[in-house]
Structure formats: structure tokens, C-alpha cells
């Protein structure tokens, strides 16, 4: 479904002339589109993964955070200052603050209870956010145009590609690299990785994990918000836009391996490409394909790409 949202725009005229026979340029174009979708998955799955590891819960509100990011960008550009770049910088920060707030005010009260309760809370949060946005902006969705400086096509040498989409790939790659550097090279990142392995043990080593948990939820929400801003010009900005993407992200996380950060990146890119390739051959099946792939993959490797066997004990 998220795939449709990404690809249901009419192809540019120069492409529709050639679309009858699937040529190399069309294939390349689709692979690039797969990369776009994949990079959005990566941003979302990274946040989902660190939250899952640290808090031991599946954050059902993650898709709603993504949607909220897109609506925040819409609100800023339509009502405050019509500047996409401002939204691109502000929205992830605002969303990170919102996520940290949710952790401190809502999630924290339930850590002592079985994790089912907190998952229900995130599920409820998702419904509340979606309906709040529906009340404020309507269920039809809102228009969001590509920033002026990024309209048009770029000549890549072998094909023309929309500059905004190229920009999206660059931003998500840089963000993924920055997150990776933060997690692998800093002390705080080290603590977060240890927390995804075994948060109780981390506490027994004298580390105050409640601060780390706030940070992790904030970081994850910020990444979802960034994905929301970036997706706004190419997807329909509507209250349920995050719901579809969230379900796909579960597939990403399962294929990549629960709790594995590298798995989120690789899994995101794989699922993006599967949808893109599926669209080339039989569009209605494209989204079903990822579930088939997941089922087949899990039969061969039940713990996912980089998941650890002992993780679910």
C-alpha cells in the first residue's frame, strides 16, 4: 500500500512513451524508486529497532509519529513560514522532543508491568494521534508540493531522475551514516547498543537507563519525523499514511533480525527493492510479495538476517 502511494503518480511524459516495452531505463528508474522507499523504511526501522531493543516493546505509534512529522512539515510550510528547509530542520527536532515527552509522561509509568500494557498504550497513542490529525486537517489529506529548488530532473548520465528523489536518497544515506557513527563511536551509542542486548544488566553496571530510554525514544521519534518530512512531497499526506508504512516496517525488522540495527538498514533496502521489482512485473502483487518473501526467508533463517538466536528467550 505504501508502495502504491509512492508510485501511483503518472510517469513523466518522456517515460510513458517508452513504458510499453520495459527497457533498461525503466528498470533503473524502478530500482531507484525502490531505493527511495527503502531509505524511508531504514529511517523508520532504525527507530523501531532501538526502541524495541531498549524498551522491549513494539512501538505501534511509530507510523503515527511518521505521519505527524509530515503534518508538522505541512503546518510549518503552509501556516508559519513557507520554507521546506526550515521544516526539514525543525520537524525532526520537534518530533524528538515530542517522543521524549511521550516516554517521560506515558511510557515510563508502565515499565514495571508486563510489556503488553505498554504496547497497548502505543497502540492507543497511534489511534489518538491519527484521529486528532483527522479532526484538525480532515481525512482527505493535504497538498504538499516539492520545494521549488528541487523540482525538475537531474541528468545522471544514464537517465533523468527527479531531483527531489535524489535529494531524499542523499539525506537518508547521510542520516543513516550519522546514526551509525553515533551508535558505533560514542559512549552513549555504546550504552544504547548494550541496552538493546540486555537493559537489566546495563543497570546492574551502574548506568542510569531511564535517561537512556528517554533519549532512545526521542531519537527514534526524531528519525520517524524526518522520514515524515522527506516523504511529504512524494506521498499523499493523509492521516493513515503511517499505518501502511508501519506494517511494512515490521516486515523489515523481522527480515533484518529483531533488535539488530544493521539488520534494519539491510532489511529496509531489501524490502524497498522487492516492492519496486514487484511493481515492474505485477503491481497488485507488489506488497503481498514482501510477506511471501518474509515467510520464505523465515523458514530458512528464523532469527532474520542479523538477529541473535538467544534474543527471544
Partner 1 sequence: MLELEDVHSYYGGSHILKGITFRVEEGQVATILGRNGAGKTTTLRTIMGLVPVTKGFIKFNAEEITNKKPYRIARMGVGYVPEERAVFPSLSVYENLTLPMAKGREGLWSLDKIYSFFPILKSRGFHRGSQLSGGEQQMLVIARILTMNVKLIILDEPTEGLAPMLVREIAQIVLELKKEGISILLVEQNSRFAEEVADCHFIIYNGRIVYGGTNMEFKADDKIKSQYLGV
Q: In 15-152, at which residue ranges do the beta strands (DSSP E only) sit?
A: none
Nearer to partner 1, 178 or 201 (CB): 201
SS3 237: strand
DSSP 78: I
Nearer to partner 1, 197 or 244 (CB): 197
Residue 92 belongs to what H/E stretch?
helix 84-105
Nearer to partner 1, 39 or 260 (CB): 260
Sequence-separated (6 or more) residues with CB below 8 Å from residue 263: 49, 253, 255, 256, 257, 304, 305, 306, 307
Neighbours of 265 (CB within 10 A): 24
- Grid cell in block for residue 236: 499523499
Closest approach of Cβ 53 to partner 1, in Å? 9
Q: What is the dihedral sign for C-alpha 219, 220, 223, 228?
A: negative
Nearer to partner 1, 95 or 191 (CB): 191
Neighbours of 87 (CB within 10 A): 27
Closest approach of Cβ 9 to partner 1, in Å? 40
Q: How far apart are CA 122 and CA 58, in angstroms?
A: 8
Nearer to partner 1, 8 or 210 (CB): 210
Binding site for partner 1 (CB under 8 A): 187, 190-191, 193-194, 196-198, 200-209, 308, 310
Nearer to partner 1, 278 or 307 (CB): 307
Q: How far apart are CA 226 and CA 60, in angstroms?
A: 18
Nearer to partner 1, 134 or 193 (CB): 193
Nearer to partner 1, 18 or 211 (CB): 211
Closest approach of Cβ 177 to partner 1, in Å? 18
Closest approach of Cβ 210 to partner 1, in Å? 8
Sequence-separated (6 or more) residues with CB below 8 Å from residue 175: 43, 223, 226
Closest approach of Cβ 117 to partner 1, in Å? 16
Closest approach of Cβ 198 to partner 1, in Å? 6
Closest approach of Cβ 220 to partner 1, in Å? 17
**What DSSP letter does each residue of 135-184 carry, written as one string?**
HHH-TT-B--PPPGGG-SEEE-SS-EEEHHHHHHHHHHHHHHHHHHHHHH
Closest approach of Cβ 180 to partner 1, in Å? 13
- Helix/strand number for the chain, H first, E second: 13, 2
Amino acid at each position: 500500500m505504501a508502495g502504491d502511494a509512492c508510485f501511483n503518480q503518472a510517469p513523466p511524459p518522456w517515460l510513458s512513451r517508452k513504458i510499453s516495452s520495459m527497457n533498461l531505463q525503466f528498470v533503473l528508474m524502478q530500482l531507484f524508486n525502490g531505493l527511495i522507499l527503502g531509505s524511508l523504511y531504514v529511517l523508520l526501522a532504525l527507530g523501531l529497532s532501538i526502541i524495541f531493543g531498549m524498551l522491549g516493546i513494539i512501538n505501534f505509534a511509530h507510523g503515527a509519529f511518521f505521519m505527524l512529522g509530515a503534518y508538522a512539515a505541512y503546518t510549518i510550510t503552509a501556516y508559519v513560514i513557507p520554507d521546506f528547509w526550515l521544516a526539514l530542520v525543525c520537524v525532526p527536532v520537534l518530533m524528538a522532543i515530542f517522543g521524549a515527552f511521550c516516554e517521560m509522561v506515558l511510557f515510563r509509568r508502565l515499565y514495571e508491568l508486563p510489556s503488553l500494557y505498554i504496547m497497548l498504550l502505543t497502540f492507543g497513542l497511534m489511534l489518538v494521534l491519527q484521529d486528532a490529525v483527522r479532526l484538525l486537517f480532515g481525512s482527505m489529506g493535504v497538498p504538499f508540493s516539492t520545494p521549488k529548488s528541487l523540482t525538475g530532473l537531474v541528468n545522471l548520465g544514464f537517465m533523468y531522475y527527479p531531483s527531489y528523489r535524489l535529494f531524499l536518497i542523499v539525506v537518508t544515506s547521510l542520516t543513516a551514516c550519522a546514526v551509525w557513527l553515533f551508535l558505533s563511536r560514542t559512549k552513549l551509542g555504546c550504552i544504547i547498543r548494550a541496552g538493546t542486548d540486555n537493559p537489566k544488566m546495563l543497570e546492574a553496571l551502574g548506568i542510569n537507563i531511564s535517561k537512556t530510554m528517554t533519549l532512545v525514544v526521542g531519537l527514534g521519534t526524531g528519525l520517524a519525523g524526518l522520514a515524515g518530512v522527506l516523504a511529504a512531497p512524494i506521498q499523499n499526506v493523509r492521516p493513515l499514511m503511517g499505518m501502511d508504512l508501519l506494517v511494512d516496517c515490521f516486515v523489515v525488522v523481522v527480515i533484518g533480525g529483531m533488535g539488530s540495527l544493521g539488520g534494519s538498514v539491510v532489511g529496509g533496502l531489501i524490502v524497498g527493492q522487492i516492492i519496486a521489482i514487484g511493481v515492474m512485473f505485477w503491481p497488485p502483487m507488489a506488497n503481498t510479495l514482501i510477506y511471501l518473501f518474509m515467510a520464505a526467508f523465515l523458514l530458512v533463517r528464523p532469527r532474520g538476517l542479523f538477529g541473535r538466536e538467544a534474543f527471544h528467550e
